[in-house]
Amino acid sequence: MRIIQFRQALGEAMSEEMRRDKNVFLMGEEVGEYNGAYKVSQGMLSEFGYERVIDTPITELGFTGLGVGAAMNGLRPIIELMTFNFSLVAIDQIVNSAAKMMSMSGGQFPVPIVLRGPTGNAGMLSSQHSQNFESWYANCPGLKVVLPADPYDAKGLLKSAIRDDDPVVFMESELMYGDKGEVPEKEYLIPLGKAVIKKQGKDATLVSFGKMMKVAWEATQEMAKQSIEVELIDMRSLRPLDNACVIQSVKKTNRLVIVEEAWPLGSIASEIAYQVQKHAFDYLDAPIQKINSGDVPLPYAPTLIQEVLPNAKKTIDALNAVLYR
């Protein structure tokens, strides 16, 4: 297969779906003339024109509301948020309109909208531009939440999200746009709500998603040098959450560690831990360990950032803890 960047995989997914369905369009800040803040939409304006690749003012609440209305009237908008930190300006439209409209209308108004853009720490951007809101949105009935970890998943999941009749919050780790990976030239889809086992193992289960999969992968490789076989699961979708995949793995390995970039309170890791202890408590040979970012606004200084974020050492320590080493 060819090797392409994460940003290219996302751009291909959008372009292919726009060619397939004339009702799909892209709207957001700098998506057209500037080819996207992260160059995800490069070349799309020249192919699809100003009616389907729409530059907006810096008005997240306004253009997200336009997208919700368009979706209610039969279109399939892709709304690019320059960062999900800015989605807080539009959260009323996302949570109170997009997520609830199908239910409140008795099924008369589906809202097939995709809200996509970067999330999480991206280096020295300080507190207001380095946050993770996936657990916030995953806590809202009516939304689906996706966070891919590599170009292959990014393309397949985004195509499925665009075709979905429910609103999908599609988050992309900001430091991964330049990452490269294998992506088929032929069309493929990845269903929403299905986790994937990235590495088989028998000694412990390690669960993560998004760019924290890099941390998790590094930890599994280090443990392998000690003849410890860690089973690595990428959740990919955070709502629906594929608890069954994790539970089945824990029943085999009897130990669980979860790595997540977000703050610890009310996190995705907390929910996974609850589901495992509820459905596989008798299989656990050690308390579940979870690793989140520190419970503080992310600092600016790079030394402090490294102290706050999850890393391979913290993950290895947690794996050793559940293995009683």
48 and 158 housed in the same domain: yes
What is the DSSP track for 210-262?
TTHHHHHHHHHHHHHTTT--EEEEE--EEETB-HHHHHHHHHHHS-EEEE-SS
Domain finish residue from 183, 210, 225? 183
Residue 244 lies in a domain: yes
The rounded distance, in Å, linking the Cα atoms of 232 and 249 is 9
**What is this structure's pTM?**
0.96
Quote the pLDDT of residue 1: 86
207 and 312 housed in the same domain: yes
The rounded distance, in Å, linking the Cα atoms of 292 and 314 is 10
6 and 76 housed in the same domain: yes
Catalytic residues: 60, 129
Taking only the tens of pLDDT, the chain with its 325 residues reads 899 999 999 999 999 999 999 999 999 999 999 999 999 999 999 999 999 999 999 999 999 999 999 999 999 999 999 999 999 999 999 999 999 999 999 999 999 999 999 999 988 888 888 999 999 999 999 999 999 999 999 999 999 999 999 999 999 998 999 999 999 999 999 999 999 999 999 999 999 999 999 999 999 999 999 999 999 999 999 999 999 999 999 999 999 999 999 999 999 999 999 999 999 999 999 999 999 999 999 999 999 999 999 999 999 999 999 999 7
Cα 281 to chain centroid, rounded: 28
Quote the pLDDT of residue 104: 96
Residue 206's DSSP bridge partners are 232, 257
Residue 174 lies in a domain: yes
Cα 296 to chain centroid, rounded: 21
